[in-house]
Structure 1
Amino acid sequence: MTASIDKIAWICLREGRLLCARSKGKEIYYLPGGKREPGESDADTLQREIEEELSVRIKPETVLFMGTFEAKAHGKTEGTMVKMACYSAEYEGKLTAASEIEELAWLTYEDRVKVSAAAQMVFDRLHEQGLLI
């Protein structure tokens, strides 16, 4: 049986670069976001996780679905997959690493090798669309 991780992720682009986060003690970057809590909608999860991890408030009226991506989960047991529903949204506040996040970075397509397999799929899509330099 294949295990699956249900994740909500934030696509935040600035000047052709994508915001990524690295957790404490990890080498690989991920898209900010996290797992849904029971009864939460995608938008609720996005708002909660981004506020916890990045200290900013997502503007709920700007949340826009960007796609779902599925790949092998990085650092998990063989056969574990991650299904990542991605959303763009505007935010208020100053981006600041919080909670388990050690570092924030604005990555380009050249940095694709530094991110998880699911995030690589997002990088590919955004690059094809001309949104990621």
Structure 2
Amino acid sequence: MQYWLVKSEPNEYGWEDLQKNREDVWDGIRNYQARNFLKAMKLGDQVLFYHSGKTKEIVGVAEVSEEAFPDSKDTENKGWVAVKITAGKTLKKPVNLEQIKTNDILNSMPLIKQSRLSVMPIEKNQFDLIVKLSS
């Protein structure tokens, strides 16, 4: 199993939207590195959902429910892909960016080093620590 973090502006598509829909397509990614990460996602992989913008916090855990397929928004046929994710649990206490930056285990996450990336892998120990910090 692999672990991931996806980012979204809550006013565009937030955790509440995914919860309401239960499952949704994660599409519209137009960065080659992020696309490669989408291609690497496997069924059942765990995904942290991060609200970018004003709040800057991890708010929920989702799961990959369908592996990479062609992104229907790719009107120029450039090979962009999407995945489906299913909402899991809402974190009791969101884990904010400041907590991540000041934690020796979490501050090496791509979220800090490549902050513009909207899909990124994380390590199991980082995933586990975020879930622990949120309870």
TM-score, normalised with respect to structure 2: 0.30
Give me the TM-score of the superposition, normalised by structure 1.
Answer: 0.31
